[in-house]
């Protein structure tokens, strides 16, 4: 799926927000600058979050609550070893009825749970190419309801 500009990436995030189910694990893959954090920011705005949405590159995780629902945004870019996820209490985040969004999930390989939905973003000219991979029925429902299939 081609996403021609940032406005369309924001629209995609809003569609994802409307389609979410709790709990859910989404892996966001792509190179630096592909638009992963932009998509997360749009998703959170679609859920009604109005505050800042910083990239959790240094903190590893930022948590949000909107409408009584929790969303945890992880950025594993600076993760040196997947076992570090145990030190930040990954199991506690996963035990909640929350949506967990993981940027750079390959850095947590062997520790992260399998994704319900993978979103692979690649730069294509001035736009982005989005590849959607579903692994569970919940992921399939979200992809379908967000218009990704």
| pTM given for the model | 0.94
Q: List, for residues 75-95, the tens digit of each pLDDT value.
A: 999 998 999 999 889 999 998
Residue 55: per-residue pLDDT: 81
- Quote the CA–CA distance of 60 and 105 in Å, as a whole number: 12
Q: Are 45 and 13 in contact (CB under 8 A)?
A: yes
pLDDT of residue 35: 93
What is the average pLDDT score of the chain? Answer: 93
Q: Contact, 119 vs 34, CB < 8 A? A: no
Largest CA distance in the chain: 40
All structural domains of the chain? 10-119 (3.40.50.300)
Which residue in 23, 66, 59 sits closest to 41, CA to CA? 66
pLDDT at 126 over 80: yes
pLDDT, residue 67, reads 75
């Amino acid at each position: 799926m081609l996403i021609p500009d940032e406005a369309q990436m924001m629209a995609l995030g809003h569609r994802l927000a409307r389609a979410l189910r709790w709990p859910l694990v989404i892996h966001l893959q792509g190179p630096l600058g592909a638009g992963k954090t932009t998509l997360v920011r749009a998703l959170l705005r679609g859920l009604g979050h109005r505050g800042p949405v910083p990239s959790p590159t240094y903190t590893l995780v930022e948590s949000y609550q909107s409408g009584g629902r929790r969303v945890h945004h992880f950025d594993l870019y600076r993760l040196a070893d997947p076992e570090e996820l145990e030190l930040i209490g990954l199991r506690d985040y996963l035990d909640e009825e929350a949506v967990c969004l993981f940027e750079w999930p390959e850095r947590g390989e062997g520790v992260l749970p399998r994704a319900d939905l993978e979103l692979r973003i690649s730069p294509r000219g001035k736009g982005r190419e989005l590849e959607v991979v579903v692994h569970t029925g919940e992921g399939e429902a979200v992809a379908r309801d967000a218009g990704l299939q």
